[in-house]
Amino acid sequence: MKIILNDNETAVEVNPSSTEEIIKYIFQLKDEDKMISHVTIDGQAVYTNLDEYLEDKVNQIEMIQVITRSQKEFINETLVTAEEYLTNAIPELTNLVEAFYQNATQGDWDTFRDFTEGLKWLTDMIANIDHLKNRPSNWEGYVEAYRTIEEHIQSLAEAMENKDETLIADIINYEILPLYKSIKILITKTIDTEGCRLDVN
């Protein structure tokens, strides 16, 4: 198995016997002042749940490319991704609310599951950046939004457990959607004042 840092800055041949060993090699390879953005395993980009992905394919992997970024680059890329997610999620959630008010189908429940995964990704993203030293100057707004979301997640979980579609719709409509909109405004402001959009024509 070959592990490469970025565009072939450093490459090592290894024969790991476990997922833990691979992860150890990955972290040894990166510079101290850099963060791992993601890894590309045999051409497949992996951003989350690396250990699970490795566990499933540990004996088949030929090449792992480790992509690192500075904290500033990492935060900027993450916020650009979050902005894209929110731009797409807000209209979807509006449609989902309507569906839950009118009696949700299995497809609507599938969309709801996607929403909960996106919500978890968003809260994880804020929590991960919160641990960094070089956070955006308007970071306190993100922390407040995070705390508010955490409060509503419990209510949402209870409504899900009871299959209370009206309550689910109310929580999304009156609590989560306004938060998504305010987080999107925060993110756009951060990118416009402290970051950049890489694919602007």
- Spell out the alpha helix ranges (H) of 12-138: 19-29, 50-57, 71-101, 106-130
**pLDDT > 80? residue 12:** no
Write down the pLDDT at residue 199: 58
* Beta carbons within 10 angstroms of residue 105's beta carbon: 10
Write down the pLDDT at residue 200: 46
What's the pLDDT tens digit per position in 85-116? 999 999 999 999 999 999 999 999 999 999 99
What's the pLDDT tens digit per position in 161-193? 999 999 999 999 999 999 999 999 999 999 999
* Beta carbons within 10 angstroms of residue 150's beta carbon: 12
Residue listed under structure tokens 């992996």: 46
Helix (H) or strand (E) holding 167: helix 165-171
69 phi/psi in degrees, rounded to 5? -140, 160
What's the pLDDT tens digit per position in 27-44? 888 877 788 888 999 999
Write down the pLDDT at residue 106: 96
What's the pLDDT tens digit per position in 116-162? 999 999 999 999 999 988 899 999 999 999 999 999 999 999 999 99
Radius of gyration in angstroms for the set of CA atoms belonging to the chain, rounded to a whole number: 20
Torsional sign, CA 179, 79, 90, 99: negative
